[in-house]
Homo-oligomer: A and B are copies of this chain.
Amino acid sequence: MKYCSTCGQQVEQKIPAGDNRYRYVCVSCETIHYQNPRIIAGTVPVWDGKILLCRRAIEPRYGYWTLPAGFMENAETTIEAAARETLEEALAEVTIDGLFSIIDVPHINQVHMFYRATLVNGSFGAGEESLESRLFAADEIPWDEISFPTVKRTLEYFLSEMPSGNYGLHVTDIRPPSAKRLDQNTSSRNTS
């Protein structure tokens, strides 16, 4: 950020009065431009005991398999965002069965949220951002071609609980390989 989106003048980084973090502040109109994490919302879509994955037609990770997910938009709920992304990327209508994973990715300022979901009528396809979509049985998941760590982690949790059908909520985080975990206890299954 170099310029103020309110008045067009330059911004500088400084700690505003009463704050304790550097922010972009306009040198002219003094507007403070806060920057905050964004939510990625998606689903684990299931049909006939199989999981629907999409093969990405866009970068990053072109050609890799992913759960349908994307940036939550203004004026929608997390559930609406998750269902919308599933419709857009996999052309699949789903009913939402419950929140399954919340994975913080602090080094890229994102929070990934996946809901368990069931296809409404078993139909699916490839949206504009997908090369194809396909149903995978538990032993068919293409582990070496999964797009993102949060997708891999969510699939691992899901498949470990799929046999029992007793799904928990998983609140955890993913940090870059070099980063020391701040608190191992923040990665835990919420068993309540």
Stretch at the interface among A1-9, A118-126, A135-143: A1-9
> How many positions in chain A have a CB within 8 Å of any CB in the partner chain?
55
**CB nearest neighbor in B for A36:** B38
- Shortest CB–CB separation between residue A185 and chain B, in angstroms? 8
Given A3-B6, A36-B39, A169-B169, check contact A75 B190 (CB 8 Å).
Answer: no
- When the two chains form their complex, are residues B99 and A77 in contact, meaning their CB atoms are under 8 A apart? no
Q: Say if the beta carbon of A25 comes within 8 Å of chain B.
A: no
Given A5-B2, A5-B33, A169-B190, check contact A182 B80 (CB 8 Å).
Answer: yes
- When the two chains form their complex, are residues A104 and B128 in contact, meaning their CB atoms are under 8 A apart? no
- Shortest CB–CB separation between residue A94 and chain B, in angstroms? 12
Q: Say if the beta carbon of A92 comes within 8 Å of chain B.
A: no
User: Bound complex: CA of A73 vs CA of B111, how far in Å?
Assistant: 11
Residues of B near A104 (CB, < 8 A) are: 76-79
Given A3-B3, A169-B192, A191-B98, check contact A18 B128 (CB 8 Å).
Answer: yes
- Shortest CB–CB separation between residue A97 and chain B, in angstroms? 8
